[in-house]
A and B are shown apart, each in its own frame.
Chain A
Amino acid sequence: MTQPTSLNINVKRRLGDTHLDVQFQSDGGLTAFFGRSGSGKTSLVNLLAGLDTPDAGIIEVGGVSLYDSVNAINIPPEKRRLGYVFQDSRLFPHMSVNGNLRYGMRFAPRHDTGDEQHQDFGEIVDLLGLTTLLERQPASLSGGEKQRVAIGRALLACPRLLLMDEPLASVDAGRKSEIIAFIENLRDQLEIPIVYVTHDLAEVIRLADTMVILDNGRAVASGDVENIMSRLDLRPLTGRYEAGAVIAAVVVRHDEEFGLTELGFAGNSLWVPRLDLASGASLRVRIRARDVSLSRARPEDTSILNIFEGKIVEITEDEGPQQEILIDIGTPLIARITRKSLKQLNLQTGDTVFTMVKAAAIDRHSLGFGGSRDRRNKLEIKPGR
């Protein structure tokens, strides 16, 4: 049964040297399109928006066909009811922020009562912190402010789906976390699904429910973020340096004396530096493979707080001095060790090993509150010991 927020995409498009050929489906929430520059992400979003036409295929949002080459359906962009937040914000320079925000409202489908629209405006302006900016001209805004206005403008057009193309690309580092927080808020408070294009894995981990990896115009993999991140075969695309498993966890308690927080997941406890979250809050943790060590025997008298027992599921056969090992500790975890150690310890698939993660290795950038409220509520997270 198609949900009102589902996505069904199967398109082919040839643009110069790029051959785009993408198929995937998703059930809503925030879907990330992830890939290097030139992998076709923006082209794909333009096809979704209707700014470009596929050579063949089908695009369905919430069961509605926006494009169908077989049935000769091709709805023009202005009728697709999709909000598009561009990388370069594209605010109209000759209108104030207020004018920009209201631009799409004129064509938004009428709500039942006139009041609802008015409420939307105030709500969204508040949500994005735009109240003081309303009378400003776009040229006088910072990159971060522009993007917030761009998001607000897209939302006020009452879209059934929000497209965001690398919205943080033109925002300086200091402002990025501010905007990411806004987007998280959006994702949680609004019911509409979001398609989010990025080449930054941290954004994916923080924001996305599902991710689609694009490489050279093809969708190489799609699925839940945790699943994709734990697949060793995708590492070249997800970035070797940053590779690591993503774990869904819940805040169990805080240790005030030592300034630590205990996170529970899959029957284990993960100690991290004190987080500013309430008990019971759910979150995602990325544990970089380079921060995970292995031992055959349970280490004793060690400074490391996080020790998990697990079974080796897979071992890579890369060139170079380092290998990665997928271990099941109740949830997948990836460790990176030297080939020499691999040989010396004679590790084989199926062996029981102990993994160690330094508490200090988990930093703010590794955390996210991935997934919509509904989805997180569905996950059963068991607190540890």
Chain B
Amino acid sequence: MFALSPLETEAIQLSLRVAGVAVLACLPLGVLTAWVLARHDFFGKSVLNGIVHLPLVVPPVVIGYLLLVTFGRNGPVGRWLWDTFEISIAFSWKGAAVAAGVMAFPLMVRAIRLSFEGVDKGLEDAARTLGAPRWWVFLTITLPLILPGILTGVILAFARSLGEFGATITFVSNIPGETRTLPLALYSLTQVPDGESGAMRLVFIAVALALIALIASEALSRRISKRMGG
């Protein structure tokens, strides 16, 4: 009963890989974007904020289509990637990772931005008066203090990536072993007249994965808070 079928194993492995890569790729850009939005005021700030949040409010299928138009073989970026690096992300797990990453990005940025705004600027000032240049202050003071926020952002993004469907299936379609992540495998099973039982198994697996991620993040979060709040 607990043995996993090849279809399930493949879907789980693919989902974990796609979500993992998506989150790791989002992280540096996410921290940077959150920092810009939290600490700076500039012309066009609300436009940037709007663009970052687009995947939250626009139907995922639309985002998937936009990704297809941009990163597909005939899209501007896709063609450049192919000509320059011989990289093609359409119809591959890399494309799935991009789709997952794009959909999860706003969640990550929100969490990290909140964290930035919670950092006492006075501590950064104090570090500067002690002789630390700005980048050192960022690395040794700001980053450690926003760690809980980064963790939250990562977990949220990971969970969102695990569950990403609409943009993925539109951009990279449903290729077994390549782009058939858990949600897509679930979808396939529900489309077949007698696939319901298989689908339920996948549902349990997906829920279990999500719960594990959430519990792990709680535990980590608590440990970090303890270290800082005594």
A residues at B contact (CB < 8 Å): 49-51, 76-84, 86, 88, 90, 92-94, 103-104, 106-108, 137-140, 153-154, 157, 163
- B208-230: contact bitstring with A at CB < 8 Å (1 yes, 0 no)? 00000000000000000001111
Question: Interface residues, chain B, CB within 8 Å of chain A?
Answer: 120, 122-123, 125-134, 140-141, 144-145, 227-230
Q: Report, nearest first, the 4 A-B pairs whose CB atoms are least far apart.
A: A139-B230, A107-B131, A104-B130, A84-B129
A94 touches B145 (CB 8 A): yes
Instruction: Judge whether A49 and B129 touch: CB under 8 Å.
Output: yes
Q: Which residues of chain B come closer than 8 Å to A106, judged between CB atoms?
A: 131-132
Inter-subunit contact B228/A93 (CB<8 Å): yes
A77 CB contact (under 8 Å) in B129, B229, B230: B129
Extra A-B contacts (6), CB below 8 Å, given A82-B129, A83-B129, A94-B227:
A86-B126, A92-B141, A94-B145, A106-B131, A107-B130, A138-B230
Known A-B contacts A77-B125, A86-B122, A92-B141; A157 and B131 likewise in contact (beta carbons under 8 Å): yes
Cα of A90 to Cα of B128 in the assembled complex, Å: 12
A138 / chain B contacts, CB cutoff of 8 Å: 230
The one of A82, A103, A137, A154 in contact with B230, judged by C-beta atoms closer than 8 angstroms, is A137
Closest to B120 in A: A90
B130 and A88 within 8 A (CB):
no
A-B contact pairs, 16 of them (CB 8 A): A49-B129, A51-B125, A77-B125, A78-B129, A78-B131, A81-B131, A83-B129, A83-B130, A84-B126, A94-B145, A106-B131, A107-B131, A138-B230, A153-B130, A154-B130, A163-B129
| Smallest CB separation, B152 vs chain A (Å) | 17
Given A86-B126, A92-B141, A94-B145, A140 and B131 contact (CB-CB distance below 8 Å): no
Cα(A94)–Cα(B229), bound, Å: 8
In the complex formed, the residue of A with least CB distance to B133 is: A78
Q: Which of B123, B130, B132, B145 has the most CB of A within 10 A?
A: B130
**How far, in angstroms, from A217 to B230 measured CA to CA in the complex?**
39
- Given A94-B145, A153-B130, A139 and B122 touching (CB < 8 A)? no
Q: What are the residues of chain B within 8 A of A77 when measuring CB–CB?
A: 125, 128-129
Chain A residues with Cβ below 8 Å from B125 are 51, 77, 90
* B126 pairs with A93, CB closer than 8 A: no
Closest Cβ neighbor of B144 among chain A residues: A94
**Which among B120, B132, B134 is the interface contact of A107 at CB below 8 angstroms?**
B132
Choose from B123, B131, B133 the contact partner of A92 (Cβ within 8 Å): B123
Min Cβ gap A368→B in Å is 28
**Bound Cα distance A86, B124 (Å):** 12
Chain B residues lying within 8 Å of A154, measured Cβ to Cβ, are 129-130
Are A103's CB and B128's CB within 8 A? Answer: no
Instruction: Note all chain B residues with C-beta closer than 8 A to A84.
Output: 126, 129
B132→A103 contact, CB < 8 A: yes
Docked Cα-Cα span, A107 to B122, in Å, equals 19
The answer on a CB contact under 8 Å between A103 and B129 is no
CB within 8 Å for A157 and B122 given contacts A92-B141, A94-B144: no
- The interface centre, meaning the residue of A93, A137, A140 with most chain B CB atoms within 10 A of its CB, is A93
Contact (Cβ within 8 A) B128 A92: no
B131–A93 touching, CB < 8 Å: no
Asked if residues B131 and A104 are in contact (CB atoms below 8 Å), the reply is yes
CB neighbours (8 Å) of B141 from chain A are 92
Select A51's contact among B123, B129, B227, beta carbons within 8 Å. B129
Closest to A80 in B: B129
A81 to B128, CA, bound (A): 10
- Interfacial chain B residues near A93, Cβ < 8 Å: 123, 145, 228-230
B229 nearest in chain A by CB position? A139
Which residue in chain A gives the minimum CB-CB distance to B140?
A103
CB distance from A181 to the nearest CB of B (A): 24
Please give me the residue from chain B that is nearest to A107 by CB atom.
Answer: B131
Collect the chain B residues with CB atoms within 8 Å of residue A81's CB. 131
A92 to B119 alpha-carbon distance, docked (Å): 11
